[in-house]
Structures are given as C-alpha cells and as structure tokens.
Amino acid sequence: MTKPSLFRQLSTFAQTIVQEAVHSRLILTCMVVFAVGVGLALFLGEIAITETRQIQSGILAAFLRIAIVFILTLFTISSMVRDINDNTVLIYLSLPLKRSVFLLGKFSGYALVAFCLCILAACMLVLFSPLSNVWPWVISLFLESLLVVVFGLACALSFVNIPAAFAAVTGFYFLSRSIGAVVLMAHGPMVTSDSIGDSIMTAFVEGLAFLLPALDRFTRSEWIMHGQANPVEWSTIIPQTIIYLLLLFSVALFDFYRKNF
C-alpha cells in the first residue's frame, strides 16, 4: 500500500476541519454576527450628516475585522484543545504520519475556514463600498487571520486550556494592533523626563514593537472608505506575514514535538 502524497494528507486534514466548521454551525454563526454588523452600520450611518456610505462601510469593516479574529481564535483553540483532550491526536500520530505534516494539515484547514469567512465578509462589504476598495482590505484581513490562527494553534498546544489560550491570543492581537500608538506616546511631547526609569520603559516599548507584528498597518478601515491602499503599505504587510507565519509555526512545531502524548 503506497503512502498518500503530502498534498493528499494536507487536503484530508483541511476537509476534516471544514466539516467540523460546518457541523459546529460556524458559518451560520458568522452570518448572524455579520448581519448584526450590517444592521449596526445602517443604524449608525443614518446619524451621519455627510459621507453616509463611507461611514457605514468603515463601521462595518471595523466590526467584521474584530468579529472574524475572535471567531477564528475561538474555533482554532477549541478545535485543537478538543483533539488533545479526546486523544484524537494519538489516533493520528499512531499512523505513519509526521507531526509536522499533522500540524501543517491542521493549519491548512483553519486557513481555509479563514478564507471562507473573509469571502463572506467581502460579500457584506460590497453592499456599501466598491469592489476595488474591498479586495485589498479582504486580502489583508486574510493575512492577518493567518497570523491569528497560527498563534492560536501555538497557544492551544502550549496551554491545552481554552480560556488561557484565548486570553494569550487576545493580548497578542490587541498589543500588536496598538504597539504603534504606544511607541508614539513613549516618544511624545508629554514625556519630558530623562530619568533612568523612563529610558528603560522607552527601550522596553521599542523592543516590544520590534518583536511584535505591526497589525495596525493591516486591514485599515480607510482602505474601505477611501480606497487608499498603496504599494508602500503592502511592502511591509507581506514580508511581515511571511516572517511571523514561519516564526510562529516553528514555535508551535517545536512545542508539539517536545510533548509526549
């Protein structure tokens, strides 16, 4: 009996994850949440005096971004923790299957689910914004979702606890989104003291900004509102995505190999 090809193995894992998303009614849940976002955008847009469409699209884009990140995080972590607690991982590892292929297959499935959610978000946004403004935003959201998924996978393997892993991913995400503003405040005009403590704090903030991905440059609402995505922004988004995907997946793989199931 010949061993299945790598593509066949990865596609099998991806199909399993998609089936799990369907059975858990993830897509239906997302549609309900997205419909709430559309209703919120319509309601708040009526309050605006000018540029109603731009404001509605910006509100909906911000809502969908947060919703997709949180839904994907919960789905990834709960799915992986359940596989560990139910000893499903042991069943897979009893087969002639490398741990790296198993982890890459799981990530491929979660990435496919993220792609489906991003497409669904795009269908909502084209109701308020031109397609030329929507597609760069959606591509950036997909790249951002990949980073969240792979970090959620690493946290699920490390903590094997849904609340702890979810808290870690949430902290990572919001800190990555706000670290640019934190750096600006550390160097702002309000900081006038030259004490050693302030210098240490500034150096710490700069070091943290160097280590974290600059998610504040990803998936910006003004792209939807005014279509201002430019090549300079993409020249930082794409390399960061590749680097952090490889780094975070390596961390998850290292933790997975050192575990004795």
Q: What is the model's pLDDT at position 1?
A: 45
Q: What is the model's pLDDT at position 47?
A: 75
Reduced to 3 states, what is the DSSP secondary structure of residue 126?
Answer: coil
- The token duo for 12 is 């099998």
Q: What is the model's pLDDT at position 151?
A: 95
Reduced to 3 states, what is the DSSP secondary structure of residue 137?
Answer: helix
Q: What is the model's pLDDT at position 205?
A: 81
* Orientation angle between helical segments 99-125 and 26-47, nearest 10 degrees: 30
Over the chain (261 residues), what is each successive 10-residue block's mean pLDDT? Answer: 72 89 89 91 77 84 94 94 88 84 93 94 90 90 95 93 94 91 71 67 82 88 78 84 94 88 65
Q: Cite the DSSP H helix spans in 87-130.
A: 88-93, 99-125
Q: Yes or no: say if 83 and 89 are a contact pair by the CB < 8 Å rule.
A: yes
CA dihedral of 28, 29, 33, 36, whole degrees rounded to 10: 60
Reduced to 3 states, what is the DSSP secondary structure of residue 259?
Answer: coil
Name the nearest CA neighbour of 42 among 52, 51, 34.
Answer: 52
- The token duo for 24 is 């858990």
Residues 6 or more apart whose Cβ sits within 8 Å of residue 25: none
Q: What is the model's pLDDT at position 49?
A: 67
Q: Cα separation of 128 and 146, whole Å?
A: 26
Q: Cα separation of 123 and 119, whole Å?
A: 6
